[in-house]
Structures are given as structure tokens and as C-alpha cells.
Amino acid sequence: MTTNIALFGAGGKMGARLSKNLMDSPFGVRHVEPGAAGRQRLKEELGVTTVTPEAALDGADVVILAVPDTLIGKLAALYAQNLDDGVALSAVDQLEALTTGLSRKIWQKVMLLDRVSGESA
């Protein structure tokens, strides 16, 4: 079973780097980018097509908000009702620290979440 990640802000500075680092990961990544320039960047540089927030959240196991701090609370409040109990909501604010070995780090966290959710079922 593939772990699905909803990546908000996928075409911004942080999000584009995360998008690139997740390209070769074992995860299914659904990219959300409201800005036309960000969508174009994703398409041209990575060949990535974006989806609506609702489509990204449908069945998402993990949600990453690679957005400015001022938007994190607003997005979380706006889409909280779409999140399953097992979804991890993560705010990305330390670009360099998080993108160094990112695929491995996310994979480890997702595996821990899968293990914890399996024990609670």
C-alpha cells in the first residue's frame, strides 16, 4: 500500500524543493499550488501536475504545509474536517534542515505513523 502525501504550497520556494526531493520516494505525492507561477514551475521543471486541495486530501495519509507561517492556521482550520484521524499535519519552516535527506526522514516518520496506527486499531 502506497502512503499518500498531500503537499500544500508545492510550487513555492520550500514546496518546490520538497517536491523535487519526493520525486524518487516511495510515496504518492499530490501537489497543491494556488499560484499560476508555482504551477508553471512544477510543470516545467518537474513535470508535475497539481490538484485541488480536496483531491489532495482525499485519502491522504500525511499532509505537509509548505506555506508561510501566516497561512498554516488558516489552512488547517479550512481543511481540518477533510483530514482522517491518522493524518499527520506537518508545517515546514526550516527548509535546509528538512530537505537534507528528506525522503528518508519522511519515510521513517510515515513508517512510525503506520506502526502506531496499526497498534491502535
Residue 55 CA: distances (Å) to CA of 23, 62, 92, 111, 118: 19, 13, 21, 23, 25
Contact 62, 91 (CB under 8 A): no
Higher pLDDT, 71 or 100: 71
Q: What pTM did the predictor assign?
A: 0.70
Distance CA 34, CA 13 (A): 14
Report which of 51, 54, 99 is spatially closest to residue 75, judged by C-alpha positions: 54
Task: Report whether pLDDT(92) > 90.
Answer: no
Q: How confident is the model at residue 9 (pLDDT cuts 50, 70, 90)?
A: very high
pLDDT of residue 22: 94
- pLDDT tens figures, 21-75: 999 899 999 999 999 999 999 999 999 999 999 999 998 888 899 998 888 878 8
Distance CA 79, CA 95 (A): 24
Provide CATH code, domain 4-116.
Answer: 3.40.50.720
